[in-house]
Structure formats: structure tokens, C-alpha cells
Amino acid sequence: MSDYYGKVLELIDINITNDETYLHIHLFNNQERFEFFWKIDRDTANNLQEVIDFDDKHKYRLALHMATKPTDLHSVGLVTKTYLDLSEKIYFECSVDYKNALEIFNCFESIDDLSNHPSFYTQLSSEQEKNQPRTDNLEKSVSSIHNPSLKWVRVAIPCVLIFTIIFFINYQPWIQASVNKTDTIDVKTITTKAILEKDKHIEKITPKVAATQSISQVPTIKISESKTFSLPEGTVALTFDDGPSKYTKEIADILTKYEAGGTFFFIGVNTKKYPDSVQYVHSNGFSIGSHSMTHPNLASLTYNDQIAEIQQSTRVIEEIINDEVILFRPPYEAFNEETEKIIQENNYKMILWNQDPEDWKTRDADKIYQHIQNIDASGSIILLHESQAVIDALPRILEHLNKQGLKIVNLK
């Protein structure tokens, strides 16, 4: 009898070959279980593989709904990692085809509805194979992965591992002697290399570059409150939301030229697209905060989903810059008591704002500049978004703030 009630997609395996990619799925519909293979696009399969580490303890359930960013057209899928009573929400980018297939799962009434779909392949009996010749070639390909004739491989591999361990123990003096005759091996370097090879999304990160702007050159204000709207008089903070993007590096270069501070609030899914831009911002001495994983309205989410949104994006950034991230900005300025509880329990700092030029609405450099020109910017946290309009307005904004005698600060 199944532990699941209602419709549940349990992910058993991800199979990626040179030609095709597909998910091995157990579909639970109340107390019924169906096993099949779901053919998906390679990008979605790779994104799933990056966030999932199959083991003997955890189970992975694919959500039947999507999380779509309001500012973009791409979709974000959700998989829940569970072990006993513990669960973790994990997000991944997916294709429109994946999204459309989920709609099939939501409305299917029988397994026949799936077997007639070109993306789903069941293990067919001989009689069914005659009636559905379209599945012949793929079914043989899928079945070969689970062929009983390959079971000896599962037995042989542990045996080889055991033999290797015994060999290493018995011949360790000989190995050590050989090592001593050559250069000393840096075990830490070997371990680090292995970790980087395992974690595919870390491999995409470009090497750290020397900072062109010393962190000490930029005025910095350390935030002490768990929630902040404004700053002391005489200071102003420029903050940039919704990155990283193709505009990130140019914004950082302009700030560097004017020896001004800047604080970037990055979205987790965008961070995976532009890891080199995240590192560039950090290396040039600017502050980085989280702007959630997928840019949802946090106040509409459950407590656990809020934790996942906040903590996952923070971890993704920290893996890239190898530094702690404590700043957080809720999308749409939407939060509730549960959000504040999460912030306090994790010692994060929620950074809000008291000046909004609404650059996302106008996309007009002149209007963005005019808004800031017409306000008393002292003590302000100014909300901006990464865009070409902001890039065009930024030099004038910085020159105006400098003429006011204000310190343009990083937030820490």
C-alpha cells in the first residue's frame, strides 16, 4: 500500500543519454501506482540533475504546479525532497513542454490517457506492443537500462571497491614510499577538485578576479536592525533588484568609476544563469543580498515555502562568492509575520526602501534621474532595478548625489 494520497509524482531516476533524456516516474493516484518513463528536454533534465542527489534515504516528489516569475517568461518547477517527517523545497528551471506535461497529470483519469501521449512510455506487454508500435524502439531502449542481465554489474562494482580498499590498507607503506619519492600531494587540493567536478553548476563559475576597487574605499553602513527602511542622515544607498543580468557588470563598473557603494539583491534562478556576474560584483567590493529564489509573493506562501525561497537563494549566492550573505529583500515588499520570524531566526537583515523612482514602470532614464533629483536623498535607501535605463541614468544620479555631499554607501 502506498504512503501517498491523491496524485503524486515520485521521481525515481534521471536518465540522460546522447540522444534522449527521460525521467523514471512512479505516479500514485490515491492507492494506485503506475510506473512509466517521461521523455523531457535536455535542459530541464540537466537542471533537475543539478539539484538532486539520489540516495537510499530521500524521496523526491515533483510538484504538479509551477512557479512563474512575473518579470520573465520562463517557468520554474518544484521538487520536494523528503526523509521521514523532514522536507525541503527545491526549485529548478524548466521548459514550456515540461509545464504542459504537468497539466496532463493534473487532469488524467486513467493510465491510458498517459500511454497515448507522445512523451510518456509505459512498460508494455507483448499484446500492447502490437497495438502501439510507436513505442517499440524507445521501450527497448528504456528497458535495457533495467535489464536483469546487467545485475552482475551491481554485484561486481561493490566487490571491486572492497578489493581496492583491502589493497590500499595492505600496501599503504609502499604507496607512502612512492609518494615520498615525488612531490608532496596536497590532499585538500585533490578533494576540492573532486567536489567542483561533482557540482556542475559550480564548474560554470569563472575564476575570481582581482578586485578593481578596494572594499575599504567604499563607505559602508552595517545594519543592526532585523528590518530597515532608511539610513542615517548624510548617507544614501543605491540598491539594485532582480539581477544578476546582462546589465550587472556595467552597473558595477559605473559605481567603481565614481567610487560609490552599491548593494545588489540577486534572484536565485538568475544567479545560476550569471554566476560570473555575481563573482564580479563581489570581487569589486559591492554588497550582495538575496531577493528570493524565484521572486514570488512571500506573503502568499506557507512558512516552509518561505524558508525554501529565502535559504536556497542565499546558499546559491554563498557557494559562488564563498562569503556569508545576510541581507534579504522580499519581492514586491510583500512579507508577513512568518517572514520576519524566518529573518530573525537566521540572523538575516531585511532591507526595504523609502524611495522608489518606479524605474521598472517608466524604463525612462530621464524620469528616473528627475525623481532622484527632486527628493531629499539624505538617509534614503533607493530602489532601482537592473536595466539599460538605469545604466543610462546612473552617472547623472551619482554626480547629483556627490554634489549634495552625501556618502553613497554599501549596506552590510
CB contact at 8 A, 74 and 93: yes
CB neighbour list of residue 109: distance below 8 Å, 6 or more residues apart: none
CA distances from 209 to 282, 283, 284, 288, 297 (A): 10, 7, 9, 17, 35
Among 223, 251, 228, which residue's Cα sits nearest to residue 353? Answer: 228
Q: Look at residue 185 in the predicted model and tell me its pLDDT.
A: 30
Angle between helices 248-257 and 275-283 (to 10 degrees): 10
Return d(Cα 54, Cα 344) in angstroms, integer: 32
3-state secondary structure of 295: coil
Q: 372, exposed or middle or buried, with CB in 10 Å at 0-12, 13-18, 19+? A: buried
Confidence of residue 1 (pLDDT cuts 50, 70, 90): very low
CB contact at 8 A, 394 and 388: no
Ordered DSSP codes for 73-139: S-EEEEEEEEETTEEEEEEEEE-HHHHHHHHHHHH--SHHHHHTSTTEEE---HHHHHH-GGGHHHH
Least confident of 190-194, 361-365, 394-398: 190-194
Print burial letters for 250-267: b (CB count within 10 Å at least 16), e (below 16): bbbebbbebebbbbbbbb
CA distances from 347 to 217, 241, 412 (A): 27, 21, 13
Ordered DSSP codes for 131-175: H-GGGHHHHHHHHHHT-GGGHHHHHHHHHHHHHHHHHHHHTHHHH
Torsion sign, CA atoms 18, 161, 148, 40: negative
Q: Look at residue 79 in the predicted model and tell me its pLDDT.
A: 86
User: Is the N-terminal amide bond of 244 cis, ω within 30° of 0?
Assistant: yes
The one-letter code for the residue type at 340 is E
Topology (CATH) of 215-411 = TIM Barrel (3.20.20)
Reported as a single tens digit per residue, the pLDDT across 317-374 is 999 999 999 999 999 999 999 999 999 999 999 999 999 999 988 889 999 999 999 9
Reported as a single tens digit per residue, the pLDDT across 248-258 is 999 999 999 99
Among 40, 45, 59, 25, which residue's Cα sits nearest to residue 92? Answer: 45
Q: Look at residue 384 in the predicted model and tell me its pLDDT.
A: 97
Cα 328–chain centre separation: 15
Confidence of residue 28 (pLDDT cuts 50, 70, 90): confident
Among 239, 248, 246, 269, which residue's Cα sits nearest to residue 73? Answer: 269
Residue 380 pLDDT exceeds 90: yes
Greater model confidence, 81 or 3: 81
Greater model confidence, 97 or 140: 97
Torsion sign, CA atoms 259, 260, 263, 269: negative
Q: Name the grid cell of 289.
A: 543580498
